[in-house]
Amino acid sequence: MLNRRIFSSRPSCFCVPARNPIPVIRSKMKFISRFGSLKPAGSLKILSVLPIALAVMLIAMGCSSNEGDGPASRNEGPVVLSGGSVATATPLPIADQPAEVPDGLQIVWEAYSILVREYVAREKIDPDVLAEAAVIGMLDALEDRYTSYISPKTFQIDQAGFQGKFGGIGAQVEAAPDRKGVIITRPLPNTPAEKAGIKAGDRILAVDGEDATGWSVLEAVNKIRGENGTPVVLTVEHVGSLDPVDITIIRGTIEETSVIIRQVADTPYGRIRISQFTAETAREVRQGVQELIDDGATGIILDLRGNPGGLLTATVDVASEFLTEGLVTYEVNSRGSRQDWVVKKGGKFPEIPLVTLVDNFSASGSEVLTGALQDHGRTVVIGTNTFGKGSVNLLRGLSNGGGVYLTIGRWFTPNGRLIEEIGIDPDVVIEFDLDAVGINPQTSEGGDPQIEAAVKQLDFQIATLASSHG
């Protein structure tokens, strides 16, 4: 038996091959799900899989390209640039209008000019405030929950989380499906958030009494993070409850593990749990799988449940360990141009039987990896439909010190499936409530029907292979 091994690494933000299906046990097991209601039909998402991932105190779900790797670099970081009414039939001239105003935007300047010239409460006219309000309204009109205005204060968010440790509560957050604030997608194991009772799916209503329902992910991260040892009060709404609760959490230093390796008890199979994709993840996976094989493992369970993504390059590298050729994913940008990320040569495990576990909070890089393995016929996917975060996001600076966080591309699986707002459908659907049945997702103590289904699927695959060869 292989002893538990934990790899610790630095958090970081994250030809169409034919699908050759592996034999699949097609039963659909349904347990009570507390996540299903989070995703209405037509569903969530950005995948961005690979947008820029924020990891500061809370880790914002997502994934980004690594500087210098792949056909396109995305990890560019912020770019800082510095009683009645009377109508007139003949409008007065607009003073100081810019030389060129795009069609359709002229009314913005016209409205401002009218205010400056005629509004009675002139003391309320603050160009900076009005400009911010106009930008916010402009971006809100796009109805893209991953495109938003970032205030100058929030724009300066500390990037310490990308260095391996960060102060905060230890929870991953994402924009809510209804665009009303943010939700907790996963409290990290053994962190202040988990110990305080924070659960996956919790909606953050307020932070220290300040209404959070209109915040972006960046704003939430900026408000919740703070010095180690200091308290923060989150007002949250648990999934399935209408009664908000106040939870006091003492901030601490958060150290996240990237890969956990263990052998599944009483089986010849190993389990690789990837919590996020970092620069070291592929190396850790390669080492871990080899150790499992050396210890007698004949099949692998790849556990991506709750994985929010991370580095795109790491995602490609992990996929390449189990594939021989073809695409991992491709991106279509705002101009309609396509960029491909292909399988790298030298993968060590292209034939070992493989089952992949996902859930409602498997997002971004984990969706890219799952989609690639599924399209290549390399794995059977078990669990629930994934988060659907399939967009590429970038933070751009503005001259006022603030910025715009915007969607600049979409990610697709090798067979052309859009991930954004759709997610990855499992081959075998199994829904259940981890908390309700008292399961420790790190150890599977208490029983885990998805792990059990994965074991049965591997038994089936191996038996099928044996009969075909004999």
Q: Which residues are catalytic?
A: 364, 375, 389
SS3 assignment, position 56:
strand
Take residue 69 and report the two structure tokens written for it. 């790797």
Distance between CA atoms of 105 and 101, rounded to whole angstroms? 6
Q: Is the dihedral of CA 184, 273, 362, 10 positive or negative?
A: positive
The CA-to-CA distance between both ends of the chain, in Å, stands at: 29
